[in-house]
């Protein structure tokens, strides 16, 4: 073989190798790490991951019965957030992304404390749980994510057409609030109920909220869930338009949670029956969004509340004050019962998902011992529908039966409550408030409770979770409506009250919120709730703002002119004096600096 | 580093350098001193310093600069010379007119900004580690807060296997009950933390577990928010009284676990 031939053969071999490398997808190399790397990954995993994902990676850790969505089962090789085609395994970078930033509004946090090497080792260890990672056929080439198209009106309009054509609304709802007709029926490949993304609350997107994240989700689907891939059915450009449309549905990048509602003053009467005028009144009032979390302090704990935030506004006139609250709910449950004090048995805290429903250590027995014998709450008797007996008798069986048959029935209705202190804190101790969980014996709270089955406001006085009594001291009116996945409840009460809190002008009044989603079997203390926030009644007469601004400008201007005038006069006097002395003005031009 | 915002400090120093190089006049130096100090206070620190402190410093500095400028007749006339020239010389007429408009506008904007500060909910002080009672009763047992210790801590040396069992039980208790607020990694950043005020305790922090006796932690676990004295604003805290849900052993086990997870030891008896 000549030298030339050898060189050529070498070159050809290099080209062939390069071609082979190019032909293989970038992430296709089976890379399971070394024994040492997996061992190091196990140490990190056992400390930070096993409690949810299970020490054997089967998604069955200590926390599993009480979180929703369930922790990933690594033995199945099924992953939701990937850049690879539907059904394929994720790349290491896909896994790294979720470990680093987590999945918002789920129990998966980001792990910024882990080093890059630690994360890589954990990835190797996680991959060892599923034999799929040894199979080259399960690897797919990551998709390319193009730069987002400019979000023009045409693009959004085209996206809307795609949204309709592809039937997105069936799950995500007409305006994207996650309230499509199919939403209550959805389950993942393990049969666990799964919540549809509320497209209007981008900060809750579990796979990330950037346009690239949204594009990725359309293009690869979420394995193991009903969210399909549109890689085959939609052109790239249409997917980009759809991204722009979905993005346009969003209510901002961030929830911008606030701590205060400003109640604005109006001369107009507040008439709850006159929808248009009412809407116009609230149009002028700023909206504040407040975070809601599960009530997990008192028995009847709610580890996975459906509703994560509520928006609130307030207006007032000479005699009355009105509050409007809005939140998203995938279905209006308006046929069941509900009340702030409805009992919740211990097994229902985790919806009976844990197998230890009736055998939760020794303490659940204690719990039933303490509470099980009590009468059903008065409201049930009052309304006369499915009473407490029925509930304690076979409620659990019903539920377990229903879980297989389909979505849970509307045993419980949606509901909402505003909570105020029964009286304001005395002078000198402004921080003193009633216990934010339904008050305490010394400092009671008033609840403006609306069971959305009836749509009227009932008032309760709470002296702690075990002592919630109906009151009729004040008349609170309410109107309610459910539209496209959003509840709106508007309350009205006289500003002054003899029994409860009065709303004086320029007063900070503590308030807190509770929301019950009947679909999620929320009732009684199993609810979403907020900390104490405030409503501030803005002064009815706004101090003029123009005058102080103009005054400041004028004062500064006058001072300036005075200085200019004095300096010039002095210069003139000096010049006059010097002229008289026969010298020139040149001295002032001599640079003194 | 040093809690300083280094780029800002470097830019300010660089401006000073340029002024020195260009042999800037006294007035420019005085203005530079004050404005640089203002910028340093406002942007120079990684963690903002209180407005009131900055205001006091700037006020004193302003007075000192005025004293310096007026300390002698020569220095005064030297300092005001550029201003006098600006006012008198025809070639600066445009600059003078601009300044006459700009300063009132700045004052007006300042007042406008002051009037439009967004309203905030009233804030209150809160004692993070209020003094515990001298004794408490948990599940019919009296606990002397001064002398009580975690009954399982000594197994760490005496019986590591048994210690491991208690730890594992504590791990179970923590991840069945606590991580929603205190977080998977115990940074006080669980999935519900953003909705709570006060925020949950951060157990990674050296200012939390290591400075507390295990009996204090036991008190906080067993009695929760309702057991806090008024200074701890019990009405706002979501911390449950865990004696309602957990056995005494479970509470000591989770106590053991949170110390072990973070690599801390409880403060020993009598240690200050």
The secondary element (H helix, E strand) that includes residue A415 is strand A415-421
Q: Is residue A3 part of a domain?
A: no
Identify whether residues A198 and A100 lie together within a single domain.
Answer: no
Identify whether residues A304 and A417 lie together within a single domain.
Answer: yes
Q: What is the CA radius of gyration of chain A?
A: 32
Q: What is the pLDDT of residue A418?
A: 98
**Contact state of B108 with A553 under an 8 Å Cβ cutoff:** yes
- Which residues in chain B are closer than 8 Å to A436, comparing Cβ atoms? 235-236, 238
Identify whether residues A378 and A426 lie together within a single domain.
Answer: yes
Q: Which residues contact B262 (CB under 8 A, 6 or more apart)?
A: B186, B203, B204, B209
Q: Which residues of chain A have pLDDT under 50?
A: 1-3, 17-27, 353-407, 584-593
Identify whether residues A204 and A313 lie together within a single domain.
Answer: no
CB of A178 closer than 8 Å to CB of A196: yes
Q: What is the pLDDT of residue A12?
A: 56
- The closest of A79, A86, A122, A124 to A103, measured between CA atoms, is A79
- Which residues in chain B are closer than 8 Å to A432, comparing Cβ atoms? 230, 235
CB of A325 closer than 8 Å to CB of A513: yes
Query: What is the domain count for chain A?
Result: 4
Peptide bond preceding A69 in cis form (omega within 30 of 0): yes
**Contact state of A593 with B82 under an 8 Å Cβ cutoff:** yes
Q: What is the pLDDT of residue A14?
A: 53
Peptide bond preceding B50 in cis form (omega within 30 of 0): no
**Contact state of A106 with B191 under an 8 Å Cβ cutoff:** yes
Q: Alpha-carbon distance A388 to B161, whole Å? A: 48
Q: Residue A116 half-sphere exposure, CB side, CA atoms within 13 Å?
A: 1
Identify whether residues A511 and A564 lie together within a single domain.
Answer: no
Domain with CATH 1.10.760 in chain B: 135-262
Per-residue confidence band for B53, with pLDDT thresholds at 50, 70 and 90: confident
- The closest of A452, A485, A488, A456 to A326, measured between CA atoms, is A488
**Contact state of B81 with A113 under an 8 Å Cβ cutoff:** no
Last residue of a domain, one of A138, A161, A195: A138
What is the average per-residue pLDDT within B214-222?
96
Identify whether residues A374 and A473 lie together within a single domain.
Answer: yes
Which residues partner with B197 through β-bridges?
Answer: none
Q: Using CB atoms within 10 A of its CB, is residue B118 exposed (0-12), middle (13-18) or buried (19+)?
A: exposed
Identify whether residues A514 and A551 lie together within a single domain.
Answer: no
CB of A362 closer than 8 Å to CB of A377: no
Identify whether residues A179 and A320 lie together within a single domain.
Answer: no
Q: What is the pLDDT of residue A497?
A: 92
Q: Alpha-carbon distance A154 to A245, whole Å? A: 10
What is the average per-residue pLDDT within B58-68?
94
- Which residues in chain B are closer than 8 Å to A370, comparing Cβ atoms? none
- The closest of A220, A209, A296 to A254, measured between CA atoms, is A209
Q: Using CB atoms within 10 A of its CB, is residue A183 exposed (0-12), middle (13-18) or buried (19+)?
A: buried
More confident: B64 or A394? B64
Token pair, residue A260, equals 């205060």
**Contact state of A66 with B174 under an 8 Å Cβ cutoff:** no
B89 touches chain A (CB under 8 A): yes
- For A511-542, what is each residue's pLDDT tens digit? 999 999 999 999 999 999 999 999 999 998 87
Nearest CB to B111; choose among A433, A508, A548:
A548
Portion 118-137 of B in contact with A at CB < 8 A? 119-122, 124-126
Identify whether residues A210 and A316 lie together within a single domain.
Answer: no
Q: Is residue A578 part of a domain?
A: no
How many residues in chain B?
272
What is the average per-residue pLDDT within B181-204?
95
Q: What is the pLDDT of residue A580?
A: 76
Fold of B135-262: Cytochrome Bc1 Complex; Chain D, domain 2 (1.10.760)
pLDDT > 90: what percent of chain B?
69
Q: Alpha-carbon distance B15 to B7, whole Å? A: 12
Identify whether residues A50 and A184 lie together within a single domain.
Answer: no
- Which residues in chain B are closer than 8 Å to A554, comparing Cβ atoms? 104
State yes or no: pLDDT of B254 exceeds 90: yes
Q: Using CB atoms within 10 A of its CB, is residue B94 exposed (0-12), middle (13-18) or buried (19+)?
A: exposed
Token pair, residue B195, equals 């909705």
Q: What is the pLDDT of residue A395?
A: 37
CB of A93 closer than 8 Å to CB of A38: no
Q: Is residue A264 part of a domain?
A: yes
What is the average per-residue pLDDT within B48-57?
86
CA-based angle A343:A344:A347, to the nearest 5? 150
- Residue A323's φ and ψ, nearest 5 degrees, are -120, 140
Q: Which residues contact B213 (CB under 8 A, 6 or more apart)?
A: B145, B149, B266, B267, B268, B269
Q: Are strands A260-265 and B135-138 parallel, antiparallel or unpaired?
A: unpaired
The secondary element (H helix, E strand) that includes residue A471 is strand A468-471
| Domain span at A555 | 546-571
Sign of CA dihedral A406, A407, A408, A409: negative
What is the average per-residue pLDDT within B128-151?
92
Which residues partner with A415 through β-bridges?
Answer: A451, A516
Q: Using CB atoms within 10 A of its CB, is residue B135 exposed (0-12), middle (13-18) or buried (19+)?
A: middle
Q: Alpha-carbon distance A186 to A227, whole Å? A: 10
**Contact state of A568 with B111 under an 8 Å Cβ cutoff:** no
Per-residue confidence band for B5, with pLDDT thresholds at 50, 70 and 90: confident
Write down the ipTM of this complex: 0.81
CATH number at residue A362: 2.60.40.1190
Q: Is residue A9 part of a domain?
A: no
Q: Alpha-carbon distance A316 to A267, whole Å? A: 8
Q: Is residue A590 part of a domain?
A: no
Query: Where would I find the beta strands (DSSP E) of A472-570?
Result: 477-483, 486-494, 508-516, 528-529, 533-537
Cα A363 to Cα A32, A242, A359, B247: the distances in Å are 44, 51, 9, 7
Q: Alpha-carbon distance A108 to B121, whole Å? A: 31
Q: What is the CA radius of gyration of chain B?
A: 30
Identify whether residues A280 and A381 lie together within a single domain.
Answer: yes
B158 touches chain A (CB under 8 A): no
Identify whether residues A326 and A206 lie together within a single domain.
Answer: no
Per-residue confidence band for B126, with pLDDT thresholds at 50, 70 and 90: confident
Q: Alpha-carbon distance B196 to A292, whole Å? A: 9
More confident: A242 or B23? A242
């Amino acid at each position: 073989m000549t030298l030339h031939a050898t060189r050529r053969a070498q070159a050809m071999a290099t080209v062939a190798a390069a071609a082979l490398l190019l032909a293989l997808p970038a992430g296709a190399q089976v890379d399971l790490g070394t024994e040492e790397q997996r061992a190091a990954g196990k140490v990190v995993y056992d400390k930070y991951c096993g409690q949810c994902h299970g020490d054997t990676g089967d998604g069955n850790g200590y926390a599993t019965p009480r979180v929703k969505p369930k922790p990933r089962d690594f033995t199945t090789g099924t992953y939701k957030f990937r850049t690879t085609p539907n059904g394929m395994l994720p790349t290491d970078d896909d896994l790294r992304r979720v470990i680093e930033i987590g999945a918002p509004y789920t129990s998966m946090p980001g792990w910024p404390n882990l080093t890059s090497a630690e994360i890589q080792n954990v990835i190797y260890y996680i991959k060892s749980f599923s034999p799929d990672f040894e199979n080259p056929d399960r690897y797919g080439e990551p998709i390319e994510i193009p730069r987002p198209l400019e979000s023009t009106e045409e693009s959004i309009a085209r996206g809307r057409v795609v949204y309709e054509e592809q039937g997105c609304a069936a799950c995500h709802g007409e305006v994207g609030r996650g309230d499509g007709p199919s939403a209550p029926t959805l389950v993942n490949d393990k049969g666990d109920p799964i919540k549809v993304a509320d497209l209007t609350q981008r900060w809750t997107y579990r796979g990330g909220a950037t346009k690239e994240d949204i594009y990725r989700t359309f293009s690869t689907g979420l394995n193991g869930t009903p969210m399909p891939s549109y890689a085959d059915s939609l052109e790239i450009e249409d997917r980009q338009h759809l991204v722009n449309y979905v993005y346009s549905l969003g209510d901002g990048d961030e929830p911008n949670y606030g701590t205060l509602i400003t109640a604005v003053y109006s001369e107009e009467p507040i008439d709850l029956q006159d929808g248009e005028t009412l809407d116009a009144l609230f149009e002028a009032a700023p909206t504040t969004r407040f975070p809601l979390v599960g009530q997990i302090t008192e028995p009847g704990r709610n580890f996975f509340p459906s509703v994560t935030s509520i928006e609130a506004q307030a207006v007032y006139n000479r005699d009355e004050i009105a509050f409007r609250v809005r939140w998203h709910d995938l279905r209006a449950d308006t046929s069941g019962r509900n009340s702030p004090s409805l009992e919740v048995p211990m097994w229902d805290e985790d919806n009976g998902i844990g197998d230890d429903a009736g055998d939760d250590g020794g303490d659940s027995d204690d719990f039933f011992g303490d509470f099980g014998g009590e009468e059903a709450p008065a409201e049930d008797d009052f309304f006369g529908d499915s009473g407490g007996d029925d509930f304690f008798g076979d409620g659990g069986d019903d539920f377990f039966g229903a879980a297989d048959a389909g979505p849970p029935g509307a045993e419980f209705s949606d509901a909402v409550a505003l909570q105020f202190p029964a009286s304001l804190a005395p002078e000198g101790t402004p921080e003193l408030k009633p216990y934010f969980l339904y008050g305490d014996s010394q400092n009671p709270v008033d609840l403006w409770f609306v069971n959305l089955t009836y749509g009227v406001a009932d008032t309760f006085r709470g002296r702690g979770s075990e002592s919630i009594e109906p009151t009729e001291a004040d008349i609170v009116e309410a109107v309610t409506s459910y539209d496209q996945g959003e509840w709106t409840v508007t309350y009205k009460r006289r500003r002054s009250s003899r029994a409860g809190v009065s709303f004086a002008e320029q007063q900070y009044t503590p308030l807190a919120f509770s929301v019950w989603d009947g679909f999620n079997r929320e009732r009684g203390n199993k609810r979403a709730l907020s900390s104490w926030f405030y409503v501030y009644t803005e002064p009815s007469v706004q101090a003029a703002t123009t005058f102080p601004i103009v005054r400041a400008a004028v004062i500064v201007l006058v001072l300036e002119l005075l200085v200019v005038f004095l300096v010039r006069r002095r210069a003139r006097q000096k010049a006059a004096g010097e002229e008289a002395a026969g010298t020139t003005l040149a001295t002032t031009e001599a640079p003194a600096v | 580093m040093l809690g300083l915002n280094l780029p800002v400090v470097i830019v300010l120093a660089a401006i000073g350098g340029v002024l020195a190089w260009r042999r800037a006049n006294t007035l420019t130096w005085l203005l530079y001193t004050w404005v640089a100090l203002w910028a340093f206070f406002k942007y120079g620190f990684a963690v903002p310093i209180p407005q009131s402190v900055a205001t006091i410093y700037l006020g004193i500095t302003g007075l000192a600069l005025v004293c310096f400028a007026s300390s002698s007749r020569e220095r005064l006339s030297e300092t005001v010379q550029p201003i006098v020239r600006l006012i008198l010389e025809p070639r600066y007429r445009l600059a003078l007119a601009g300044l006459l408009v700009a300063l009132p506008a700045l004052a007006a904007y300042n007042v406008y900004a002051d009037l439009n500060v967004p309203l905030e909910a009233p804030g209150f002080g809160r004692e993070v580690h209020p003094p515990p009672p001298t004794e408490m009763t948990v599940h019919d047992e009296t606990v002397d807060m001064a002398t009580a210790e975690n009954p399982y801590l000594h197994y760490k040396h005496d019986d590591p296997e048994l210690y491991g069992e208690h730890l594992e039980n504590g791990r179970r208790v923590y991840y069945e009950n606590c991580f929603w607020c205190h977080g998977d990694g115990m940074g006080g950043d669980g999935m519900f933390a953003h909705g709570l005020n006060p925020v949950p305790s951060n157990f990674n922090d050296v200012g939390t577990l290591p400075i507390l006796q295990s009996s204090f932690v036991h008190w906080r676990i067993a009695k929760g928010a309702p057991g806090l004295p008024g200074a701890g604003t019990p009405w706002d805290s979501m911390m449950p009284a865990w004696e309602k849900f957990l056995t005494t052993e479970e509470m000591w086990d989770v106590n053991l676990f949170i110390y072990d997870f973070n690599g801390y030891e409880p403060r020993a008896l009598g240690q200050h």
